[in-house]
Amino acid sequence: MATLDRVLHGRAGVREDTARRVRETIDRFEFRPSSAAADLARRRSSRFAFVMPEGGNLFMQAISAAVEDMAAWLNARRASAETIRADVFNPAALAATLESLVGRYDGVAVVALDHQSVRAAIDDLVAGGTHVVTLVSDVPGSRRHHYVGIDNVAAGRTAGSLIGRFVGGRSGKVGVVAGSRSLRDHAERVFGFNQVINLEFPGLTALGVVEGGDRDEANEALTARLLAEQPDLVGLYNVGAGTPGVVKSLADSGREADVVFIAHDLTPVTRRGLLRGLLDAVIVQDPGHEARSAIRVLLSLARREPILAEQEKIRVEIVMRDNLP
C-alpha cells in the first residue's frame, strides 16, 4: 500500500521498474482514485448552502423540503446543506447575502436575480474558492459553475402553444403575470411565450407583462384589473408563483369557462385549480429532482468529479386534470 501511494502521488522511494509495473497495472484496470474515500481518510467534510426566496412560494418550499430530506444521504458522504432565506427580488439584499457567504461554504446553490450586483457577488464567491450553482433561475453572465433547472424558453413556448390551441380559434387578448422580468427564468418564459403567440396565433394579442413579485395579494389585484379592463381577455399565463391570487380573481369573476389559464408548478393550489376547471394545464418541473441534482453537482464539484449531464437534465412536463399524478 505504501508503494502504491508513493507512485500515485509521485513521491520518491520506489524503484523505476516497480513504479512502471504499478502504472501499467493502473492503466490495465483503469483505476481512478476515489475522492470520496480520500475525504473520509482525511476526515474532510463539505458544507453547502442553499439560498432560497423568502415568502410562501410553494414550489421553492418543496425544493427546501427535498434538501432537508437528503440530510442523511449527505451525512453518509461527510457533507451537509443548510437553507438561507433571502429577498431574491431585491438585488442589493441578495448580493449582500451572497457576499456574507464568502469563505464559509464549499458550495452555494442560489435562486438568483440576473443583475450586475448579483453577478459580482457570485463572481466574488467563485474567486474565494466556493463552487456556485444557480438553481431554477440562471445568471449566465457570471462565473457560476453550473445551472440546475429547465429550459425556460421552451417552457414559455409550451405555455403559448397550449393557450393558442385551447382558445379554439377565438380572437382576443392574453394577459401575462410575472414575478419579475429581472429573474432570468421569468424573462425567458415571457420571451418564449410571446414568440409563439406572435408567430403562430395571429388572432391573439399578448398584453404587456404585469409584475406581482410572486405575491398572492399582488397577483390577485393585477388579475382583477386585467379581467375588468379587458372584456375580450381569452387567456391568462402566470409565469411564476402567486398562482393562488390569480385563481381567486378568476373564480370571483365567473369567467373561468371563457379564459384559458396556464400556470407553473404542481402544488395543492394548482391541483385544486385543475380539478375545479379554473386551470387548464400546469407546466411542471420536479422540485425533488432539482434539489437532488443541485446537491449532486455541488458534491461533484467539491470532489473534482465529473458531472453526469444527462442525469442532471430537468424536464419540462405538462400536467392536466386528466393525468394528475
Residue 36 has pLDDT above 60, yes or no: no
CATH number, domain 45-149+288-313: 3.40.50.2300
CATH number, domain 152-284: 3.40.50.2300
pTM of the prediction? 0.82
Contact present, 278 and 250 (Cβ < 8 Å): yes
pLDDT of residue 66: 97
Contact present, 174 and 233 (Cβ < 8 Å): yes
Rg of the chain (C-alpha set):
24
Q: In terms of pLDDT, which residue wins out, 126 or 38?
A: 126
Give the range among 36-50, 135-149, 270-284 with minimum mean pLDDT: 36-50
Please state whether 172 falls in left (phi above 0), alpha (psi between -120 and 50) or beta. Answer: left
Residue range(s) of every CATH 3.40.50.2300 domain in the chain: 45-149+288-313, 152-284
99-155 tens-digit pLDDT: 999 999 999 999 999 999 999 999 999 999 999 999 999 999 999 999 999 999 999
C-beta atoms surrounding 100 within 10 Å: 12
**Measured CA angle at 220 (ends 235, 257), to 5 deg:** 35
Q: In terms of pLDDT, which residue wins out, 158 or 44?
A: 158
Residue 28 has pLDDT above 90, yes or no: no
Contact present, 97 and 72 (Cβ < 8 Å): no
Q: For 166-182, what is the mean pLDDT?
A: 95
219-244 tens-digit pLDDT: 999 999 999 999 999 999 999 999 99
The count of C-alpha atoms lying within 13 angstroms of the C-alpha of 215, restricted to the half-sphere facing its C-beta, is 11
191-215 tens-digit pLDDT: 999 999 999 999 999 999 999 999 9
Grade residue 44 by pLDDT with cuts at 50, 70 and 90: low
State the burial class of residue 255 (Cβ atoms within 10 Å of its Cβ: 0-12, 13-18, 19+): middle
Q: Which residue in 154, 238, 144 sits closest to 191, CA to CA?
A: 154
Cell digits of residue 146? 453550473
Grade residue 42 by pLDDT with cuts at 50, 70 and 90: low
- Going through 183-275 in order, the beta strands assigned E by DSSP cover 204-206, 210-211, 233-238, 260-264
Residue 22 has pLDDT above 90, yes or no: no
